[in-house]
Each structure stands twice: as C-alpha cells, then as structure tokens.
C-alpha cells in the first residue's frame, strides 16, 4: 500500500516536529499523533526536523510536493523558519503553527509564549527569595528561540528586582549531564553566593538538582525548571525539586489538530489560541498528576 | 660541478655523517660505496635537498647553496632515485613519472597526450614493457623500481643521484639502465651511483668513494681499484670466499608443489625441495616468482594445485597457516609487507615468534629483550638500541632485521624472496653462509634472487620460470648464466 | 573519459543501491517520482553537496575538516550582518560570506602545514572557535532582516533552484579541475604518498593549504546559500553538517587515508543520503526508525559497493 | 619503565601546558586548587576518560569509532530499563549495560573486518542506529526510577567517587595490557602496518575485532556510569561524546593513522580537556568565549607539544 495514498475524502495532514529526541517536543508530538488517530477520516504524517531549520524546510517542501490538506508546523526557530512558513502560504496550504511563532504568521497559532515561561520561573524565584539573593541560570543551546526568549523573560524580572543578582549564567545545551557538571563547578566557584537556580528546561534542572544533592546543598537552594516533564513532576512530589513551569503538551496537541481540521475543511478557525504556562509547585501539584 | 664541503648530519644527537667532502664532475659516474648504514643514502639525501645539513654546505657550479626542499634541488638540476621506493599508488605510471613537472597546455592544465608520450619515451629508453596508463598499485616491485628510474631521468637533470637503483631489478633491466647511464654520461650529466653489487661498480664507475661509519675512507679512480681492495676499504678487512660450499642435500623430501595455478600469474607449477636443499626460482621480472612464493606462504593462495609438506597435503590460506606448518618467508616488498615502521627494531624482530617469549598471553620482557639483543648482535644490525624505530634504520639493516624475524620462528622451509637486496657485501657473505648452515641443519630453502651469480653459487637446483610456467629445472652445479637466461627468455 | 567510465563502473554497486532505493520509493509512494519532489531532492542536497565537494579536496590530501558546520554558521552570520536592505550592494555580503569561509580554511591549512598539528585537532579547534565567533558576532541572536536581493539567491532560475545551479557548477568545476589540472593531480599525489610527492618536488605545503582554503571557500558558499534559504544568519546553524558531508564523500569511495577518490563518487554519496532522507520522510517512517534504517542503508550500500568492486 | 619515562618526556610539552593552565587557574581563582574542586575535575573527566581509553585501542589499530556517544545512550537506557527498584539484583542492569556496549562494538568490529567497510562508515552507521534504538527502547522518554543500588554507583567510596575509581582501574588495566600482553603488541603492529602484520602471522582480524569489542565494552561501562550519575537512562545523552574522547586521545599523541600512542598520553589529553572545562566555568567566562578559548588552548597545546617533541 502506498504510504500517502489516501482514500476518497480522507484528510491528509503533514506535521513537522522540531525534535523528537527532546522530551517536551516528543510529548507534544505524541499528543498530536494520538489525538489525530481518534478523528475518523484523518491521516497524519509526522516527520522529525532534529532541530535543523534547513531539514525542516526540506520536509515542508516534501509536504507541498505531496499536496497535503493542511500542515502543522512546530517551527525550529523564530526567524529562520520564516521562509518555510512563507513557502507554505505561497502554496496555499492551510498552516497551523504550534508551540513556536515565526516572523510570518500562520493561519492559526496554538501555543504559549516562551517569554512568559522565563518570566514565571524567575518571578517564582523572586517571590521565594523576597527579591533578595543570588541566582544562577542554565541556558539551553545558545541562539535557539526557546533559549533566547526564556532568557529575555528572565532578564525582565531581574530588571524589576534590583536585589536579585544573576551571579553566573552558562549554557548546558539542554543536557542533564552537562548541567550537572556545570553546577558542580559553580558550587566550587560561587559557594554561598547563590540561593536559586533557574534552568531553561527540566532536564537541566534535574542535573542541577543532582549536583546540589550530592554536595548536600539542596536545602539552601531553590531550583526551578520549565516543561513539567514526568521526572520533574515526580521530583516536585517528592519534595526534591521546588517547582517547574507547566507547558500543556496535550492541550497544544489537541488544539493544533482541531485547528488543522477546521482549516482543511475551510471552516473558520481562531487566529490564535494561547495555552498559558503555569507554575507547578507542591501546593498545586495534584491538579497536574493524573 | 657539485661539491659537498664538510657536510655533517645528525639524527637525534647521533652523528650519522661526519664532516665529509666529495666532488662530482660532469660526464662522470661516481660510485658511492660502503656497508649498510655507512651514510650513503644520508649523504645523497642532503645533496638532493631532502635533509638539511647540520654542518658544512653544498657547492653547486661554484656557488654555495642551501636547498630548502627537494623542489629547490630539482629546479637547480639535481634529481635523485631513492633507495626506498616511492610510488603514488593510485596515480598512473605516466603521472608518477611526470610528477612535479607535468607538461601543461595553459594555466596549469595538463597536456595528457604529451604526458603519455614523455612517459612512453622514458620507459622505452629503459626497455621496460609497462603501459603508461596503468595504475601504479598494480605494478610489481621491479616495475615500480623502473618507474622510479624513469621519474629521475625525465627531469633532464645535470646531476642524478642513484641510490641502489638496481636492487630490485633483474639483468635485462639492469642492462637497459646501464645503456641509459652511458647516454647520460655522453651528455655530460654527473651520475652518483650507490650499489652493493660489486660487478656493477667496475662496469660503470669512473671514480669510487667509500664511506665507513659516516666517514669518507677514500676516493680513487675506479681503474686504480680491484674488487678485493675495494672490499677491504669498505669492510675494513679482507673478505675471501664470498660463496661457501654447498652441503649435500638429504634424500628426504620436505616440500612438494604440484600443479599450482592462479591465472594469469602462473600455471601448472610443480617442483620439490629436499631437506638440506636450496632450490632457486629464476626468471625475468614479472615471471611469477614472487607470486608462487606468496602462494606457498599463504599471502595469496593459489586457485588450484596441491602443496605437500613432509608428504602431507596442507592447506595454506594465510601466513598464519604457513607459519604453523613450519614455513617462513622474507618478502620482497620490505616496506609494504615487512616493516612495522613505528615499532622498535627489536619488536619487529620478535613479532612473529612472540609466543616464545610469553607466559601464556603475557610477555616476558626479560627473555624478549635478551632475544632481541642476541639477534641484533648475531646479524650485526646497526641501531642505537632495540627500541629504535625500524623505520629509521638504513635499508640494509632493515633487511637483516626481517631475515632475523623469519628465522627466529625456526621454520623448516624458508622462502627467501630477494633476501640480499640492498645488503652490503660483508653482510651478504654472512647471509650466504647462513643459508648453507641452514641447509646443513636440514632445512629446505626456496630462494628467489635476481642476481644470477648468487643463484648459481647458492642453489642446488634452479627452477626457471617463463611467463608463469616452468621452462626448465636445471642442476645449478652443471649450468651457467647463459643457459638459465635462454630458458627464461620469452620465445 | 576513460577514467570517468572506469569510475562509474567502479562505483557501480553504489549506483545500483541508489537506483534500487529510488525504484522502491517510486513504487511505495506516488510523489517520489514527481518533478516537484525531485526538484525538492535536488534543492535539499545542494548545501550538503557543496560541502561534500569542498571536503573531498581535503580528504584527498589525507586531511579532514570537522569545522564545516560551524564555519557554515559563521559565514552565514557574517553574510547576514552585511545584508540588511539598502546598506550594501548584494555582492558585498556574498563576498564577506565567502571570504569568511576561506579565511577559516586558510587558518586550518596554515596550522596543519606550518604548525604541524594533526588536521583532526586543528579543525576540531576551528569547530568550537568558529561556533564561538558566530555567537559573539551575532550576540547569540539570529541575524535577520536580510535584503531581498540576497534571499533571492535561494529562488529559482528558469525553474531550477539557484542553490542547485551553484552545486552543479561547483561539482563540475571541481571534477574538471581534479582531472585536468596539475594542482588537481598534485592533490592526489600528496594524499597518496606525501614523502614521495615532496621528493618529486611537489610543493606539498602549498597544495595542502590550497585544499583547506578551497574547502573553506566552498563552506562559505554553503553558508551564504543557507542564510539565503532560511533568510537569517543563524549562529547555531549547521550542527553536525560535517558528518553528513564527510559521510557522503566516504560513501562515494574516497579513502580517509587520502589519495583515492573522485567527485563523481562524492556526488553519488550525496545523492544516496539525499534520497534516503527524502524517501523516509515521504514514507512517513517514524523518526526513531528512520535513524536505524538510514544507518543500515548507508553501511549496507558501502558494503555492497566494496564487495562488488572487489570482485 | 624505560618506555614510560620516554613517553612522559615525549609528552613533556603537553604536561607543561596542563601545569601552566593549572597554575594560571590557581592564581586566578581561589577554588581551583581545593580538594573539593579537584575531586570534581576527577569526577567530571571519568566518563570521557573511560571512553578515551576505550577508543585508544581502536585508534591504535588505525580505526575510528564515531558511535561512542550513541552507544553510551543506548547502554544507559538498556541498563536503566533493568534497574527499577526491587526487580533485579544490581548486577543485572550493570551486565546489561556492559553487554549492550560490547555487542555494539562487536558488530562494528565484524563489519570492519568481515565486511571490509571503512571504520568511519561502519561506526557512523552505528552512531545513528544506536541512537535510534535508544529512542525506540525508551519510547523517546528518559527511563527513570532507578534503584538506589545502581545510582550508588556514582557515589563516593572512602572519599573517592566510584566513577573515578572505575576510570583509574580501566586506565591502569589498559596501560598494563598494552605493555605486557602479546595482544597489546599485536594492536600496535596491526595499526603500524596491517599487511606486514598479517604477513608476520598476526591474526589481524581477531586483533581488530578485539579492539572494537573492548572499546564497546568500555563505552557500555561509561553508559552505566552516566546513567547512575544522572539517575536516568537518557536516550539523547552522550551527544558528540565521541569527539571529546577522540580529541583527548589525539591530543595525547596517538596518531589517527594508527600504530603510535600510549595510554599515558590519553590520560594527559583527558586531563587537559577536563581542566579547561572546569577552569573556564570557575572563571565565569561567558559561553561564547568559552568555545573560542577552548579551541585555542587545545590547538595551542598540541602545537607546543609537537614542536617540543620534534626538537
Ligand atoms: N631518520 C633517521 N633517524 C635516525 N637515524 C637515521 C635516520 N635515517 C638514517 N639514520 C641512521 O643513519 C645511518 C646511515 O643511514 P643510511 O641510510 O645513510 O645508510 P646507507 O649507507 O644508505 O646504508 P644502506 O646500504 O643499508 O642503504 C644508519 O645508522 C641509520 O640508522
Ligand atoms: N598487483 C598486481 N596486479 C596485477 N598484476 C600483477 C600484480 N602483481 C603481479 N602481477 C603480475 O603477475 C605476474 C607475476 O609477478 P611477480 O611479482 O610474481 O613476478 P616476479 O617474477 O617475482 O618478478 P619481480 O619480483 O622481479 O617483479 C606478472 O605478470 C605481473 O605483472
Ligand atoms: Mg641506503
Ligand atoms: Mg619478485
């Protein structure tokens, strides 16, 4: 049977995911695939851009050649993914952007704003420390949109609280082992000068957490990540991790499939559906554990 | 025309060439003689710009020069044939020959036709039958050597340094080379010639200089020298009786080869070797001698035919099988199939027989080093220590080390492919004696050598090959060079 | 001509694998054989293709260049910085991109030849240095707002994408150069036996320097093409591009030990990788399995190719 | 003993650079020379160290292994899958991790020796295959919930981290093996001149198979240690670890052409990289500049080292 041969009236949706080896994106993609399966008469083809803008561009071109009915794009980048979006629009194919905007708008955007995630996380730190104290920040891969926007959000809050000092910041490339080594080094370099760590994702937060625990310093340091991956939630539950910022993968996933179907059927569809980030700590954890 | 003035060269604190002065004149063949490791190649490499001298300087047409690279020397008009073969395996013969001075149309675009013509002309001059568009890697060692010669001749140089150009050649090509040298002489080219083949010196040289341990022992017109005198100068003592007497072989057959075939290299090869017997394979270049030996040693198994050792058929698929059966070999291709250049001389020697110096899988360093030292002394291998990388040794000393590696396993059948190539006259005599001692001890020896006098003096029987087939089997004591050659020549 | 035929025959196994994969894809999908899709494949392989041609030169000299990906990013950023609309004529950003690449290549070459440092180390160093510079120059942010003249560089000309034309021109020039020019043959000689080449008077150092600089120049070109295609200079672009490029070259029969290999082979290698990437996406194979299948096809193709060329 | 001395002297330039960097860091920061920090350095280099020792064997045979990082991930995931509390005795997940690595190495070795495919291609293929398998096995999600017995593998024993002890044991065993075992000598011979080694009766294929399998086994060990350290089997762990490991080995003087190199050199290379990474973090150098400085120091160190050992 031909891979993309469709039955009469079947709707074919192409979905390019940013990176399936990153846990949050994998969760989002799974939600999209699973939800599409529940819709009769819909076929969804998923491809993985592996964080490479140019590869994603190629995949979009492949979708256009396949004449899909709608495309769900989880763009790699804010700026660099714009030409791919323009190409889709030029081909007249309905486009849903999910989780990341680009310079050109799609027909619909489902997601949250990474800027907010950074803001929420550092606000939580400021609240915990009463606006006074040293903070360390672990960056994602430098130059990626998520890193840039999460940093920008964080910086805004730092500007608001003069007592909150950014003691040091460094990239650990979204990687737990790297974050762990970096935190070990920081414990040497900045012992006693920091009381919170903000990691751009939960993987790195877990790494920082492990390093602090090993050094017996966890109780003195507030650690917060972003994404609410399973392990982070467990860690919050166990009282190890202080908090994480929830990004609703299932909500984004469902929303984007619904939007794609509406567009493919030429029905009206909201231009933008924001699914906001939410802070998760021990207090409100139960809402998020299923 | 070219003068070395007080040239000195050190390697890692060791002086290899003590201040030496020699002069080379146009239209003259100047032979450079000396034992292995005497410093002949080193001197030539300094003259050719490959090494920078650590003292003294080179004078060229009356001017002091300092060549920074072989390129400078070539531009000045000095070319060299290196002792170590230097093919570029994946370029064609023509490209190898014209390397560095390719004929060009414009803007560095190669004129292929001219390139082929030039290569053809040079190969023709050397009377070699090698197609210029063949890939270098498909050539035999001898053919590679011919290409190396053509490469230097094509340079139209005023001085050609030839470092053992005939080591891998058989008589036919040697004769062609000599005719080419005569033409060079007539054109006023200065030829510097190194060899370990005595008779070549007296056939060719106008002047002879002798080096010993990096020092110039003397320089004299060839006419004033006799072989005996020359040997004394080189070795520092007399050398009588180069060829020892042949012991009588036993009636016991050790090796039988029956109908060995691997087209197109050789077919239906049959011969036998008794214990205590030396059998030589003779033939022109490319006759298939090396390939037959390689088949017996398992380097390149034959397609069909049988090999029997001690009356038992054996299957040799690899050198390991051969070694296990008691067959050892010294290969012709020293660099490709012999040396592990970065390992020490000692470790190269004990490589094959390493199991003997082990407790189980572990090395017994004491026993190993003792064996290394014994072997190096026994074969008078000149090296600063057993740990010196073998790649740094002079060609002759490398050869001796490989011979020692082969014998250390105590094989019963010993295959020697050009064993004396590049070996000095003193060491040759030692190897000849060794061969006969081995024969006397009941070993069987299969000898391949392009030097017919050697073959005639050492072997009991000679199997003459012609284009991959046995042309004749001769009793060495009853035959002469002409007979062998007549059988070896293609009809 | 002879050498070309010999080479195609030599790489026959590879050609067969590519045709086999292509045939399988034509049967399995409706779109693979469409003009639109084949144009896509061509467009998609052009950047890897330009890089692969460049690094073929370096690999032929028995060197290696691990800095390709980072230098693509650096050149792209440098190009984009000068490409804001109305600031400079379009030739300036292009030249800046190319020269940035060439400069990196030149530094690599100089360190390898004058410094005597192993190419692996030199270009690994350049890999992190160029990445760092790309981040410093751009402040870690994508350099956007590029003029239309420059982004037009990724458009079509008479229906053929300009990147594809660039790639074709580069490949043809490289093929012609390696076959017919003295310097081209010297590259083989240096890689085949460096000492022999030096003894024959080949200016080994200059030849190597040329190979690295040319590779750098082409990397710069790839950077410009990529920047035009994604309309930004992306400081973290090009991650691991060197692996795909080197893989294409080695699949095409070039030896990492130097001295053996052809541009024709490299093209086949680039094509194989491109077709696999395109085909697996078209078939909708899940990306985890894609990785496994891609690895198996690449190893299998080379294995078949070598088996066939040995017999 | 002699060989050791010669080697240290040989790598004297490198030692000097490391001491120089160490001295500079002791002056520039208060913390570098503290016991706690040096323990950190030791802990952080142990994974790269184990990988580097393993890949030294492969590089000595003139091969290469690009699959290290992916195999670390796969072994870690495999180990973690069997390490849930109360399911199996702790030896099981450890054995699974080690054997997974060894199996990958064995496949690499078999394809290189029996298949005759270039090591670069084989291990590049394994790189994507192992990564794909790691993602498939784990479903793309970190495998968490590991038993304390296993994560204790990353704790201290008498004040020394167990990963450091593992690394030390592995390095010592490898050093001893290469010097004192026949097989060790054979590895050098095969890398030095494969054809000559074969002609001298060395079982070349078996030797290479051993090198790849051993490298795989040690990669598996690194995977287990990493999983214990980060308390999860991470399918996307170990990205580009192969580059750091190979860099360390080459910095330490092992030739990519094979046949030359020592474990002592590799240790120095690992140490240099570790000290740079730690030092730059301690000094608070910005990420962008870290990349540049790291590249410069590595190239500079090798350049100095080679210059000194030539004279
Ligand atoms: N690169 C090197 N490093 C160290 N020692 C060297 C090097 N090259 C040559 N030697 C030493 O220099 C000495 C002279 O070597 P050379 O090659 O000049 O001898 P030769 O007279 O040509 O001998 P042969 O007749 O065996 O070719 C030898 O003892 C050799 O070990
Ligand atoms: N690698 C090769 N490729 C193609 N043909 C070869 C190759 N090696 C040898 N031959 C051919 O095989 C035949 C036998 O070669 P072999 O090396 O056995 O000759 P030989 O008698 O030992 O001569 P010599 O050693 O003097 O060159 C020759 O015709 C030669 O051209
Ligand atoms: Mg010599
Ligand atoms: Mg022969």
The pLDDT tens digits for D177-210 are 999 999 999 999 999 999 999 999 999 999 999 9
* C111's tokens: 């360190």
Q: Does B358 touch chain C (CB under 8 A)?
A: no
Chains B and A touch (3+ CB pairs under 8 A): no
Interface test with C, best of D118, D134, D280 (most C CBs within 10 A): D118
| A49-53: average pLDDT | 87
- In angstroms, the Cα distances linking C73 to A100, C48, C94, D180 are 22, 14, 14, 47
Which of D2, D192, D199 is nearest residue B299 as measured by Cβ atoms? D199
Contact B340 D203 (CB under 8 A): no
Query: Does residue B83 have its Cβ closer than 6 Å to ligand 1?
Result: yes
Residue B356 CA, chain-centre distance (Å), reads 30
Chains that touch A (3 or more CB pairs under 8 A): C, D
> Which chain C residues are closer than 8 Å to D293 by Cβ?
132
Contact A23 D140 (CB under 8 A): yes
Q: Tens of pLDDT along B232-288?
A: 888 777 766 678 888 888 889 999 999 999 988 999 999 999 999 999 999 887 789
Domain C4-310 fold: ABC transporter involved in vitamin B12 uptake, BtuC (1.10.3470)
DSSP 3-state assignment of B362? strand
In a domain, B84, yes or no: yes
Q: Pick the residue from chain A with its C-alpha nearest to D154.
A: A214
DSSP 3-state assignment of B481? helix
Residues B170 and B312 in one domain: no
| D223-244: average pLDDT | 92
CA angle, C167 then C172 then C174, to 5°: 95
| B337-351: average pLDDT | 95
- ipTM for the predicted complex comes to 0.89
pLDDT band of B94, cuts 50, 70, 90: very high
- D248 CA distance to ligand 2 centroid (A)? 44
Torsion of CA A193, A199, A202, A206, to 10 degrees: -30
Please name which of A178, A180, A225, A214 lies closest in space to residue D151, comparing C-alpha atoms. Answer: A214
Burial class (CB in 10 A: 0-12, 13-18, 19+), C52: buried
Residues B223 and B259 in one domain: no
Residue spans of beta strands (DSSP E) within B235-277: 253-262, 266-274
Query: Helices marked H in B276-424 — which ranges?
Result: 289-297, 319-325, 334-337, 345-350, 365-378, 395-408
DSSP 3-state assignment of A180? helix
What is the C-alpha separation between B140 and A183, in angstroms, rounded? 63
Which of A5, A17, A77 is nearest residue C234 as measured by Cβ atoms? A77
Q: Given B178, B200, B235, which residue is the final one in a domain?
A: B235
**A2 pLDDT higher than 60:** no
pLDDT band of D2, cuts 50, 70, 90: very low
- D257 CA distance to ligand 3 centroid (A)? 26
| Structural domain range at position B363 | 253-488
**C3 pLDDT higher than 70:** no
Count of CB pairs separated by less than 8 Å, B with D = 71
What is the C-alpha separation between A44 and A37, in angstroms, rounded? 8
In a domain, B270, yes or no: yes
Residues flanking ion ligand 4, Cβ below 5 Å: B 289-290, 332
Give the rounded percent of residues in chain A with a pLDDT score beyond 90: 62
In a domain, B246, yes or no: no
Residues flanking ion ligand 3, Cβ below 5 Å: B 41, 83, 395
Residues B342 and B216 in one domain: no
- B165 CA distance to ligand 2 centroid (A)? 19
Which among B359-373, B419-433, D10-24 has the top mean pLDDT?
B359-373
Count of CB pairs separated by less than 8 Å, B with C = 76
Q: Does B131 touch chain C (CB under 8 A)?
A: no
Burial class (CB in 10 A: 0-12, 13-18, 19+), B210: buried
Contact C132 D289 (CB under 8 A): yes
Q: Tens of pLDDT along B274-329?
A: 999 999 999 887 789 999 999 999 999 999 999 999 999 999 999 999 999 999 99
Residue with tokens 């790189």: D127
In a domain, B212, yes or no: yes
> Which chain D residues are closer than 8 Å to B354 by Cβ?
182, 185-186
**C310 pLDDT higher than 80:** no
**C140 pLDDT higher than 90:** no
Strand order across the B55-60 sheet: B14-24, B2-11, B55-60, B63-65
Residue with tokens 């001491």: D19
Which of C40, C231, C277 is nearest residue A83 as measured by Cβ atoms? C231
Neighbours of B151 (CB within 10 A): 27
Instruction: Tell me how many domains chain B contains.
Output: 2
Contact B341 D192 (CB under 8 A): yes
Contact A188 D36 (CB under 8 A): yes
Q: Which residues of C194-215 are buried (b: 16+ CB within 10 A; e: fewer)?
A: bebbbbbbbbbbebbbbbbbbb
Q: Given B206, B235, B264, which residue is the final one in a domain?
A: B235
Burial class (CB in 10 A: 0-12, 13-18, 19+), A247: buried
End-to-end Cα spacing for chain A: 39
pLDDT of residue D310: 60
> Which chain D residues are closer than 8 Å to A177 by Cβ?
47, 226, 229-230, 234, 237
Q: Pick the residue from chain B with its C-alpha nearest to C3.
A: B133
In a domain, B240, yes or no: no
Distance from CA of B289 to the nearest CA of C (A): 24
Q: Pick the residue from chain B with its C-alpha nearest to C181.
A: B109
DSSP string, B376-414: HHHTT---S-TTSBGGGS-HHHHHHHHHHHHHHT--SEE
Specify the pTM: 0.91
**D130 pLDDT higher than 60:** yes
pLDDT of residue B242: 72
Q: Does B156 touch chain D (CB under 8 A)?
A: no
DSSP 3-state assignment of D156? strand
Neighbours of B109 (CB within 10 A): 17
Q: Given B235, B264, B288, which residue is the final one in a domain?
A: B235
Q: Tens of pLDDT along A89-103?
A: 999 999 999 988 888
Q: Who lines ligand 2 at CB under 6 A?
A: B 138, 140-142, 170, 265, 283, 285-291, 332, 450
- B332 CA distance to ligand 4 centroid (A)? 6
């Amino acid at each position: 049977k031909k891979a993309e041969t469709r039955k009469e009236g079947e709707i074919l949706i192409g979905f390019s995911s940013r990176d399936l080896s990153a846990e949050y994106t994998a969760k989002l993609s799974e939600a999209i695939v699973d939800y599409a399966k529940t819709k009769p008469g819909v076929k969804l083809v998923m491809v993985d851009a592996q964080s490479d803008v140019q590869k994603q561009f190629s995949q979009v071109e492949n979708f256009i050649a396949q004449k899909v009915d709608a495309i769900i794009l989880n763009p790699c980048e804010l700026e660099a993914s714009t030409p791919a979006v323009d190409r889709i629009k030029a081909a007249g194919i309905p486009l849903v952007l999910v989780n990341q905007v680009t310079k050109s708008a799609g027909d619909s955007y489902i997601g949250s704003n990474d800027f907010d995630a950074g803001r929420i996380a550092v606000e939580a730190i400021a609240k915990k420390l009463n606006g006074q104290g040293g903070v360390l920040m672990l960056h994602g891969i430098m130059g990626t949109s998520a890193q840039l926007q999460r940093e920008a959000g964080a910086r805004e809050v730092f500007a608001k609280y003069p007592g909150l000092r950014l003691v040091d910041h460094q990239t650990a490339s979204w990687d737990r082992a790297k974050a762990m080594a970096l935190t070990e080094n920081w414990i040497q370099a900045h012992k006693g000068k920091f009381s919170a760590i903000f990691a751009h994702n939960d993987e790195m937060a877990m790494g920082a957490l492990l390093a602090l625990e090993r050094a017996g310093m966890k109780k003195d340091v507030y650690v917060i990540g972003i994404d609410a991956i399973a392990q982070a939630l467990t860690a919050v539950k166990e009282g190890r991790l202080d908090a994480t910022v929830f990004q609703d993968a299932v909500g984004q996933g469902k929303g984007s499939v619904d939007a794609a179907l509406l567009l493919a059927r030429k029905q009206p569809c909201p231009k933008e559906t924001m699914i906001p980030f939410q802070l998760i700590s021990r207090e409100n954890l139960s809402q998020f554990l299923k | 025309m070219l003068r070395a003035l007080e040239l000195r060269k050190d390697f890692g604190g060791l002086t290899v060439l003590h201040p030496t002065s020699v002069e080379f004149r146009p239209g003259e063949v100047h032979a450079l003689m000396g034992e292995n490791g005497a410093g002949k190649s080193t001197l030539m490499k300094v003259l050719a710009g490959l090494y920078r001298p650590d003292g003294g300087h080179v004078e060229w047409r009356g001017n002091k020069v300092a060549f920074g690279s072989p390129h400078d020397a070539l531009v000045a008009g000095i070319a060299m044939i290196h002792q170590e073969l230097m093919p570029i395996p994946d370029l064609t013969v023509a490209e190898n020959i014209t390397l560095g001075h390719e004929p060009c149309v414009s803007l560095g675009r190669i004129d292929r036709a001219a390139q082929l013509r030039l290569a053809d002309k040079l190969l023709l001059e050397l009377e070699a039958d090698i197609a210029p568009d063949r890939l270098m890697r498909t050539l035999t060692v001898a053919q590679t050597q011919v290409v190396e010669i053509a490469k230097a001749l094509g340079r139209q140089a005023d001085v050609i340094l030839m470092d053992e150009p005939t080591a891998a050649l058989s008589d036919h090509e040697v004769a062609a080379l000599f005719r080419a040298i005569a033409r060079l002489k007539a054109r006023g080219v200065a030829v510097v010639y190194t060899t370990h083949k005595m008779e070549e010196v007296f056939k060719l040289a106008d002047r002879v200089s002798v080096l010993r341990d990096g020092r110039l022992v003397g320089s004299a017109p060839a006419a004033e020298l006799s072989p005996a005198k020359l040997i004394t100068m080189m070795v520092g003592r007399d050398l009588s009786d180069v060829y020892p007497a042949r012991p009588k072989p036993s009636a016991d057959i050790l090796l039988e080869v029956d109908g060995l075939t691997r087209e197109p290299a050789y077919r239906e090869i049959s011969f036998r070797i008794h214990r205590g017997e030396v059998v030589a394979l003779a033939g022109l270049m490319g006759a298939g001698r090396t390939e037959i030996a390689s088949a017996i040693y398992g380097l390149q198994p034959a397609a069909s035919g049988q090999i029997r050792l001690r009356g038992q058929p054996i299957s040799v698929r690899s050198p390991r099988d051969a070694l296990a059966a008691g067959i050892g070999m010294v290969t012709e291709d020293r660099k490709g199939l012999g040396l592990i250049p970065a390992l020490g001389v000692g470790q190269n020697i004990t490589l094959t027989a390493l199991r003997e110096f082990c407790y189980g899988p572990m090395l017994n360093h004491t026993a190993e080093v003792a064996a290394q030292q014994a072997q190096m002394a026994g074969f008078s291998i000149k090296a600063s220590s057993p740990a010196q990388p073998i790649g740094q040794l002079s060609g002759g000393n490398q050869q001796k080390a490989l011979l020692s590696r082969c014998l250390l396993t105590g094989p019963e059948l010993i295959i020697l492919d050009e064993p004396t190539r590049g070996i000095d006259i003193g060491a040759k005599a030692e190897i000849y004696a060794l061969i006969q001692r081995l024969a006397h001890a009941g070993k069987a020896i299969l000898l391949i050598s392009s030097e017919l006098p050697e073959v005639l003096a050492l072997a009991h029987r000679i199997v003459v090959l012609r284009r991959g087939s046995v042309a004749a089997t001769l009793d060495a004591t009853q035959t002469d060079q002409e007979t062998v050659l007549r059988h070896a020549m293609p009809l | 001509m002879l050498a070309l035929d010999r080479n195609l025959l030599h790489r026959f196994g590879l050609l067969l694998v590519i045709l086999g994969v292509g045939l399988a894809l034509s049967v399995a999908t409706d779109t693979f054989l469409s003009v639109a899709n084949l144009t896509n494949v061509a467009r998609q392989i052009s950047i890897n293709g330009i890089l692969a041609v460049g690094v073929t030169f370096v690999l032929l000299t028995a060197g290696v260049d691990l800095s390709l990906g980072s230098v693509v990013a650096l050149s792209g950023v440098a190009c984009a910085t000068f490409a804001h609309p109305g600031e400079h004529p379009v030739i300036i950003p292009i030249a800046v991109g190319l020269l940035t690449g060439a400069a990196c290549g030149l530094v690599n070459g100089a360190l390898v030849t004058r410094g005597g440092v192993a190419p692996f180390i030199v270009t690994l160093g350049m890999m992190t240095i160029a990445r760092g510079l790309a981040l410093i120059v751009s402040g870690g942010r994508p350099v956007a707002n590029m003029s239309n003249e420059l982004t037009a560089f990724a458009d079509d000309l008479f229906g053929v994408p300009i990147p594809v034309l660039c790639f074709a021109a580069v490949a043809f020039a490289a093929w012609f150069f390696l076959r017919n020019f003295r310097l081209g043959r010297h590259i083989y000689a240096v890689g085949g036996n460096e000492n022999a080449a030096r003894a024959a008077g080949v200016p080994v150092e200059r030849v190597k320097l040329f190979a690295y600089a040319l590779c750098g120049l082409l990397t710069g070109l790839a950077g410009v093409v990529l920047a035009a295609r994604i309309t930004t200079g992306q400081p973290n672009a090009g991650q691991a591009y060197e692996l795909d490029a080197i893989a294409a070259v080695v699949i095409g029969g070039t030896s990492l030990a130097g001295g053996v290999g052809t541009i024709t082979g490299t093209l086949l290698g680039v094509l194989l990788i491109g077709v696999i990437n395109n085909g697996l996406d078209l078939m909708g194979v899940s990306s985890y399995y894609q990785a496994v299948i891609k690895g198996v096809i690449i190893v299998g193709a080379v294995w078949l190719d070598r088996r066939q060329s040995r017999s």
